[in-house]
Structure 1
Amino acid sequence: MGTPVLVLLTQDLRLHDHPALTAALRGPGPVVPLFVLEPALLRRAARNRRAYLGEALADLRSALRARGGDLVLRRGDTAAEVLALARETGARTVHLSSGVSWFAARREEALRATGLEVRAHPGLTVVPPGGATPASGDHYKVFTPYWRAWESAAWRAVLPAPERLDLPDGLDPGELPDLEDSGEGVGVLAPDRVRGGQALARERLRSWLDLGLADYGDRHDDLPGAATSGLSADLRFGCLSPLEVATAARDLPGGSEYVRQLAWRDFHHQVTAAFPAINIRDYRPRDREWRTDPEALAAWKEGRTGVPIVDAGMRQLLREGFMHNRTRMITAAFLTKTLLVHWREGAAHFDAHLTDGDVANEYGNWQWTAGTGNDTRPNRAFNPSRQAKRFDPDGVYVRRHVPELAGLSGALAHTPWLEGFGEGVEGYPKPIADPGK
């Protein structure tokens, strides 16, 4: 039997279409799939993401054991734990999927400093950062030209899941962590959060392709219909391969519109690869004067701004650990362009609750909406009243998430403080700002 090889798993918790794992299995030696739990990262992680991660790790271990292998779990500094396991097993090579965040870059740098051979692979996007680049510059700053380049870029072949893996004899795999009930992490555990793991993710993908995709082009902004894939957390943790999803969807009815959204995801990844400080610094500084308004920020976080479509989105976030993309834009624009509160305040709240939150897409979209990112129209407005009338015309979405307004009929749910409506609705606040601005 040959020399063991390590595969460091990060945001790629699956067996299907896993380039790093497939490359490791081409050698003659046993393959050691490893996940390192970094205490500092776990303490800062949303409780919804911690819970999903725990479920995904348990599911992956089960799938690996069914194939003769196992998932090795360690806790501590990633580079130190990888080096320790390499010395224990005699491994000299570690494979991993390339990330784009500042932390991912530092992690890979630290791994290379150990003296191990580090082989990085694609796997977190459809087209890897660098797979579509402009003639001048290291990345595309605007989506439309990126989309044209992305469409013409070559896609690698989708890889099959391995049938068999072998682990070195005598290796302690480590215990699965309790990430849901430990009480650590930030935010609150959403009662209706999505459950994690590649098995459930693949069920959701099959259901989406069979039952939802065909209507995506017409209904993806339909707030009451919730007609989106629901796969964002599965993609964020890599329980689904974005390439496999795109390949399966692109030639089906509705596929072209959906795949364009996966291209948006790739766009933000290539931006973040070039600008890894996207979660802390303005991508395009606008010299804006931001307001400090703790009361308004608290009202926004709790979904009690008095603007129904905003409050519905914020309460969906707390209830599900998820929010429809349309209301993500509406709520973010209300905070940054109506209340004039800094995008970092809003992004931090989203990050504390979103199961699908990650650096590239979460912060890329926040900056896009706030006008400091990649939007070519930095003063773009998302008037909540107009957005509500267009995407929730009968008030179904609002009444679903704001029970104080459940008794109002039709569009009246969007405007409970209309002039002449008396004192509004008991228990529901007056607007903290003019929703028309």
Structure 2
Amino acid sequence: MSTAVVLFTSDLRLHDHPPLRAALKACDRVVPLFVRDDGIKAAGVRSPNRDAFLADCLADLDTGLRARGGRLVIRSGGVVDQVCAVAREADADELHMAAGVTAYAHAREARLRSALEREGRRVYVHDAVITALAPGAVVPSGSDHFAVFTPYFRRWSQEELRGTLAAPRAVPVPEDVRSEAVPSRKDVKGVSEGLAAGGEREGRRRLSAWLRHGIVRYDETHDDLAGDATSRLSPHLHFGTVSAAETVHGARRAGGPGAEAFVRQVCWRDFHHQVLAARPAAATDDYRDRHDRWRSEDEAGDEIEAWKGGHTGYPVIDAAMRQLRHEGWMHNRGRLLTASFLTKTLYVDWRVGAAHFLEFLVDGDVANNQLNWQWVAGTGTDTRPNRVLNPVRQGRRHDPDGAYVRRWVPELAGLEGAAVHEPWKLQDRERARFDYPEPLVDLDHGLARFKEARGAG
């Protein structure tokens, strides 16, 4: 009997899974494999929140496979060593896996191909599994990637995405391939208290509910901090428990301005993946060097810690940072505001903020986290690199009644209405009622410092 190994990475689902369907078509049996890769651990990008969500995803994937007569095989160690060992145990003819975009993913694919082909086994790497459109599927004349979003979105929108695939009815798996136990969330320490549940069933439930009800007014409500009117699908897209292509197809079927605005956001995800695929160094280096002279962590250490803890004295910033710690997730508008505050008002290197976000974000991945940070810092693809978001004006605009602030900054719960965004303006006696810090920095001073350092005039 012919056998294929299917290596799951950031595609932890059975629905719309091209590598799995290709393997089942080509071979009699498959080994669905997930490797708890030492290389990922050594890179320092693992976090308790993502480990807990991953445990949910693996348990759900195993459940789905068992319902189809199979099971998930889990191994720990070096990914090449473990895949080769499983291939030998199963006498597998071929490997199927999704293409990645990071430098590590590219190296992993090359090492797997070299090792397996030396043993006479074929390797198939499938595009458009993790993203809706494969990185490099559309490129501008004279370049290997789009550096500006709008022309990319225009071309991306004209492309026909691949069709979606149903989940297989049966997944026959060899019995004699050993597996470790499926991990459990309860075994992970340091998880954010409000972390959402993971897994394909939960992802598909959220996607279905979003397409039925939430997407209709997305164009009007996506920046409403208190309304919490975003899809919250980002962790599921990151772990691949929902398919980006299926998500876009579903949104387009729903139609309307809300769906159009939502599809644009999914396209942003593809945009960042195609940037990183072409420029892997952007994970750590400025995509566009602005010759910044960032304040050092020694110089700005106390301010960085205040920012991390949600004690900057700017309520909307503190609310967002506290949401991050509690949920392992943050509203997109909050991400923009907190990143602008750190990089431009405090003038601290974007890499400091990106690392902190990766410590907590359940949806934190290298492409979207690092390149969104660079976009806000002005070292990335933003065509207005020196824009600075004012937290008071932004708070009043996107949390006009102050409900988001009062939810996450209970010290200010007794302060009604939009006044919650500027507690320092209260009269002394009233101000003394609130145990909340004074602003960490004057906004005008921070803006002037940034402009001088950036040479923005």
Shorter-chain TM band: over 0.9
SS in 2 for 1:250: helix
The 1:117/1:390 distance shift into structure 2, 3 A limit, reads same
**Distance in 2 of aligned mates of 1:257 and 1:30:** 42
SS in 2 for 1:21: helix
Letter in 2 for 1:118: V
Name the residue aligned to 2:318: 311
TM-score relative to the length of structure 2 = 0.92
Which of 439, 442, 448 lines up with 1:434 in the alignment?
442
**Distance in 2 of aligned mates of 1:429 and 1:146:** 43
How far off its partner does 1:179 sit?
5.4
Q: How many residues align?
A: 432
**Distance in 1 of aligned mates of 2:216 and 2:291:** 43
More moved, 101-110 vs 249-258: 249-258
How far off its partner does 1:307 sit?
0.5
Letter in 2 for 1:163: R
**Distance in 2 of aligned mates of 1:290 and 1:350:** 19
Which of 141, 145, 150 lines up with 2:151 in the alignment?
145
**Distance in 2 of aligned mates of 1:263 and 1:162:** 28
Higher helix residue share: 2
SS in 2 for 1:69: coil
Does the aligned pair in 2 maintain the 1:50–1:180 contact within 8 Å?
no
**Distance in 2 of aligned mates of 1:77 and 1:28:** 26
SS in 1 for 2:35: strand
Name the residue aligned to 2:32: 33
TM-score relative to the length of structure 1 = 0.96
**Distance in 2 of aligned mates of 1:24 and 1:9:** 12
More moved, 427-436 vs 148-157: 427-436
Name the residue aligned to 1:209: 211
Name the residue aligned to 1:77: 78
More moved, 266-275 vs 110-119: 110-119
SS in 2 for 1:193: coil
**Structure 2: runs of 5 or more not aligned:** 448-457
1:384-419 Cα distance to aligned partner (Å, 9 max, x none): 111011101111110110000110000111000016
Does the aligned pair in 2 maintain the 1:12–1:238 contact within 8 Å?
yes
Which of 247, 265, 269 lines up with 1:261 in the alignment?
265
Name the residue aligned to 1:87: 88
SS in 2 for 1:201: helix
The 1:141/1:255 distance shift into structure 2, 3 A limit, reads same
Name the residue aligned to 1:410: 417
1:70-90 Cα distance to aligned partner (Å, 9 max, x none): 111111000111111111111
The 1:401/1:94 distance shift into structure 2, 3 A limit, reads same
Does the aligned pair in 1 maintain the 2:320–2:335 contact within 8 Å?
yes
**Distance in 2 of aligned mates of 1:326 and 1:154:** 30
Letter in 1 for 2:80: A
Which of 274, 277, 294 lines up with 1:273 in the alignment?
277
Matched, 1:126 2:132: yes
**Distance in 1 of aligned mates of 2:185 and 2:41:** 9
Which of 318, 332, 340 lines up with 2:339 in the alignment?
332
Does the aligned pair in 1 maintain the 2:412–2:434 contact within 8 Å?
no
The 1:425/1:363 distance shift into structure 2, 3 A limit, reads farther
How far off its partner does 1:278 sit?
2.0
**Structure 1: runs of 5 or more not aligned:** none
Letter in 2 for 1:426: F
Name the residue aligned to 2:62: 61
**Distance in 2 of aligned mates of 1:275 and 1:99:** 13
Does the aligned pair in 1 maintain the 2:38–2:79 contact within 8 Å?
no
Letter in 1 for 2:267: A
**Distance in 1 of aligned mates of 2:188 and 2:398:** 39
Which of 294, 301, 304 lines up with 2:301 in the alignment?
294
More moved, 421-430 vs 133-142: 421-430
**Distance in 2 of aligned mates of 1:199 and 1:403:** 34
Does the aligned pair in 1 maintain the 2:48–2:188 contact within 8 Å?
no
